[in-house]
Amino acid sequence: MKKWIVTGATGFIGRNLISHLSRDHEVVAVMHHASSGRLFDAMPHVKAVVCPMEEYGLLEDRIPENTYDVFCHLAWAGTKRAARADYAVQSANARFVCDAALASKRLGCRRFLVAGTITERIAADALKRHYVAGHLVYGLSKLYAHKLLSILASREGMDYVWAQLGNIYGRGDETGNLLSYTVKELAAGRVPTYGPCQQPINFTYIDDVIAAFQILGEAGNLPKQTYFVSNGECRKLVDYLMSVASMLGGDVAIGQREDDGVRYDAAWFHDDGLKELGFSPRYTFEDGVQEMKEWLHGNKV
């Protein structure tokens, strides 16, 4: 039975990953607050541990002694709304990634797996194109963390994988991200509003993300350190939004908000690295929206 340590255990990805792994893995779920531990009471083989990110230097004192296979670092403060532009919160996250990596090494984990973001690629282009959108602070901090970890891992001789994520969605998603916001507004009979929505983008269903994370965590020697996690689809954002509106009923107001000037490149969303490791996505975008729709009806949201 393989053994994982997962930080950010109570987040959207963390909850789903731990629920999946708990069927046939031992998992240490690391969380910020003790009150959240009840989320895992019914999950076999899961041990809840409280350790805020600023205390990762003490993590090995709080985790049961064992031999662990994967340390999956998902914890990241300030992922919602205005907090994405908070430089103090975001820059601190970069240090915590490195603290988690060193804790992983002390705990004897074979692989350190981290959740990155496609926004890193925008951040890398930000100075050249003079972007000033506030949410780029989040992407810049992820990029900074990625570079710091690369240096640290080289120095420490660590095996790490950086899993860049696009837009993740699925049943139970209450993060307030783009699709979560859209679904919530449509379900409430309101009209969600957006900018021009002409940029290419990807949405990947949570179950496919979890499958990809397990492959990246447990595969043998990997040819790369950075993988883009997606189902391989790429469309204009407006096409995705119109599809959601058609499936859930209602209207979406395209062009009602100011264009923030940020541009994606369609090439960013295509990466065959995961396919070469045997990853095969199960969900198209519409398949995932249908599951969200059924979840909403079941929970009367």
How confident is the model over 52-103, as pLDDT tens digits? 999 999 999 999 888 899 999 999 999 887 898 899 999 999 999 999 999 9
Share above pLDDT 70 across residues of the chain, in percent, rounded to a whole number: 96
Q: At residue 207, does pLDDT exceed 90? A: yes
Q: What is the pLDDT of residue 1?
A: 87
Q: What is the pLDDT of residue 134?
A: 62
Q: At residue 294, does pLDDT exceed 70? A: yes
From 9-18, 29-38, 87-96, 113-122, the region with the lowest mean pLDDT: 29-38
Asked if 244 contacts 179 with a C-beta cutoff of 8 angstroms, the reply is yes
Of 101-105, 175-179, 290-294, the range with the highest mean pLDDT is 101-105
Q: At residue 130, does pLDDT exceed 70? A: no
Confidence band of 208 (pLDDT split at 50, 70, 90): very high
Confidence band of 301 (pLDDT split at 50, 70, 90): very low
Q: What is the pLDDT of residue 228?
A: 96
Q: What is the pLDDT of residue 132?
A: 63
pTM: 0.94
Q: What is the pLDDT of residue 135?
A: 67
Confidence band of 259 (pLDDT split at 50, 70, 90): confident
Confidence band of 264 (pLDDT split at 50, 70, 90): confident
Asked if 203 contacts 240 with a C-beta cutoff of 8 angstroms, the reply is yes
Can you spell out the DSSP letters for the chain? --EEEEESTTSHHHHHHHHHHTTTSEEEEEES-GGGGGGGTTSTTEEEEE--GGGGGGHHHHSPS---SEEEE---S--SGGGGG-HHHHHHHHHHHHHHHHHHHHTT-SEEEEEEETHHHHHHHHHHHT---TTHHHHHHHHHHHHHHHHHHHHHT--EEEEEE-EEE-TT--S--HHHHHHHHHHTT---B-S---SEE-EEEHHHHHHHHHHHHH-SS-S-SEEEE--S--EEHHHHHHHHHHHH-S--BTT-S--------GGGG--TTTGGGT------HHHHHHHHHHHHHHHT-
From 23-32, 121-130, 164-173, 275-284, the region with the lowest mean pLDDT: 121-130
Q: At residue 300, does pLDDT exceed 60? A: no
Share above pLDDT 90 across residues of the chain, in percent, rounded to a whole number: 74
Q: What is the pLDDT of residue 34?
A: 84
Instruction: Name the one residue in this structure whose structure tokens are 């240096």.
Output: 151
Q: Which residue has the higher pLDDT, 28 or 126?
A: 28
Q: What is the pLDDT of residue 80?
A: 82
Reported as a single tens digit per residue, the pLDDT across 189-201 is 999 999 999 999 9
Confidence band of 176 (pLDDT split at 50, 70, 90): confident
